[in-house]
Amino acid sequence: MRIVMLGAPGAGKGTQAKKIAAKYQIPHISTGDIFRANIKNGTELGKKAKTYMDQGLLVPDELTCDLVVDRIGQPDAVNGYVLDGFPRTIPQAECLTQALAKLGSKIDYAIDVDVPDENIVNRMGGRRACVKCGATYHVVYAAPKQEGICDTCGEKLILRDDDKPETVQKRLDVYHAQTQPLIDYYSGQGVLKSVDGTKGLEEVFDQITAILEA
């Protein structure tokens, strides 16, 4: 099974992708991991990607697609994979479709973890992080024993800038402009499946496994 995970930042798609990968023994592939591995191993594609990243530029779609296609060609992905964070845009999706077609392959499922914006703003606004040890909490779902204090090291917890409501809303705006059209794209290909991401972690996973095992 070849799966693409879709969903807004903070919808929980990364967590679900890892759970799918573990259950079905297929690799969880994120573009960040691919970039890091290729750069670390000094591959040709990695060197090309690094020249963009060192300048703070986005890696071009075609190069990103090449890196992903190279990764899904590895032996551990022969029975399938879960793509997380790629494709992000229509050109990336088209590039992936074309590259897979050349290999006689295609995406089987595009799973959209659907969560309304206001839920995401509230969810991420409740996150707290420890400045010292990096432990993370949530004021509602995973509160520390003592309010504002890290259970692990006793340091003060903070609301990170990227979890502040105005920053989260900006990221959601970018998502709706760039990535939301992918929902229509994969719907047009007949592979889109939506799950209710407002439910609990296990309940969302149950919805996904029901789709994959139908």
19 is catalytic: no
160 is catalytic: yes
Of 87, 80, 101, 92, nearest in space to 30 by CA: 87
d(CA 46, CA 105): 25
User: Is 109:3 a contact under the CB 8 Å cutoff?
Assistant: yes
Which listed residue (2, 19, 123, 127) is catalytic?
Answer: 127
Which listed residue (2, 13, 19, 128) is catalytic?
Answer: 13
- Given strand 81-84, what is the order of strands in its sheet? 28-30, 81-84, 2-6, 109-114, 192-196
User: What does the radius of gyration of the chain's CA atoms come to, in whole angstroms?
Assistant: 18
Provide φ and ψ at 17, rounded to 5°: -60, -45
Which listed residue (88, 123, 128, 193) is catalytic?
Answer: 88
d(CA 34, CA 64): 9
User: Is 84:70 a contact under the CB 8 Å cutoff?
Assistant: no
171 is catalytic: yes
Q: What is the 3-state secondary structure (H, E, C) of 11-42?
A: CCHHHHHHHHHHHHCCCEEEHHHHHHHHHHCC
36 is catalytic: no
Which listed residue (18, 48, 50, 160) is catalytic?
Answer: 160
Which listed residue (50, 164, 171, 199) is catalytic?
Answer: 171
List active site positions.
13, 88, 127, 160, 171
